[in-house]
Amino acid sequence: MIAGFLGGTIEGDPGVAVSEFAKIEEGRAGALSFLANPKYEHHIYDTASSIVIVGADFKPTAPLAATLIRVADAYAAFASLLRLYEESRPRPVGVSARASVAEDAVIGEGCYVGDFAVVESGAALAEGAMVYPHCYIGRGVSVGAGTTVHAGVKIYEGCVIGARVILHAGAVIGADGFGFAPDGEGVFSKIPQIGNVVVEDDVEIGANSCVDRATMGSTVIRRGVKLDNLIQIGHNVEIGADTVMAAQVGVAGSTKIGAGCMMGGQVGIAGHITLGDGVKMGSQSGVAHNVAAGSTLLGSPGMPGMGFHRSWAVFRALPELVKRVAAQEKTQGFYTENIKI
């Protein structure tokens, strides 16, 4: 049955049964595992898992106890099984008696609103939306069909959340953008933030991430964007479809990021700039200027990948270069202040 669902071929006992998933290095009888990364191959020869999903081109170098299912892409196949498992789990339905739901709020068929959640006036939850305990859905907020709002999420008034979105615990959507104007004496006055946030379909936003509302207009997270935990998106930012960002990325206000971009952890992006489609930035990179589509940047300030690697090679050689320069100056009779290496 599993092989049929995956479109794979079986090597071993076709009647073996499994009832759980396990990492290949922690396999046990009755478990299903997968092997996609070659550096874990040694585990397949002693794993206790009953079934292991492998690539079509996998060639064992020793006897195997597990039954194999060969597929074109082992990682993708295993992920599809996990999704099937997740979709088969029972889901809560109904409005808790301990929730606070405004009389004019619209709660669609098959929705769930958990204990101590608040749904304000004019808010609307489409069919199958799930709002877990201690969430806040502000006035006029729209939540799309099949969207999951995990415990403790806060969605401020007027924000629009698309279908099949996942907002993880503690995320804040629509808090005020960081807008202040100094007067002649250097005292900062708050600039009202009267826009909203629009999150399109199939977006996932990680725990304790924040997406600020626009000063005017909308902060926009396009379809399919995936944001990790602890990410800050400033006011009036636009993030293109299918862009992914790892933890602790920060994007300052009014920046436009193209589709299909990839940002490593702790990337910093200045405000009022544009990044084209397909830009890739390595962890801890920083950029304060426009970036052309398809660019790969490393380092801070960010520079093209090959230039960064060349600069890093020079940087690593600096201690030896200092010693060589000091020795040369000494032979020439120059005075060089001692530099501790």
Q: Which residues are catalytic?
A: 235
Long-range contacts, 3-7 (Cβ 8 Å, 24+): 3/69, 5/80, 5/81, 5/84, 6/53, 6/69, 6/71, 6/77, 6/80, 6/81, 7/71
Which residue has tokens 């907020």? 141
Q: For 142-195, give the secondary structure using H, E and C.
A: EECCCCEECCCCEECCCCEECCCCEECCCCEEEECCCCEEECCCCCEEECCCCC
| Residue 34 burial by Cβ neighbours in a 10 Å radius (0-12, 13-18, 19+) | buried
Q: Are 326 and 333 in contact (CB under 8 A)?
A: no
- How far is Cα 65 from Cα 24, in angstroms, rounded to an integer? 13
Q: Name the percent of the chain in helix, strand, coil, to the closest 5.
A: 15, 30, 55
Distance, CA of 50 to CA of 27 (rounded, Å)? 8
Residue 113 sits at φ, ψ, to 5 deg, of -130, 115
Cβ–Cβ under 8 Å, residues 8 and 77: yes
- Choose among 163, 159, 95: nearest CA to 122: 159
Could you tell me the two tokens for 29?
A: 């009888």
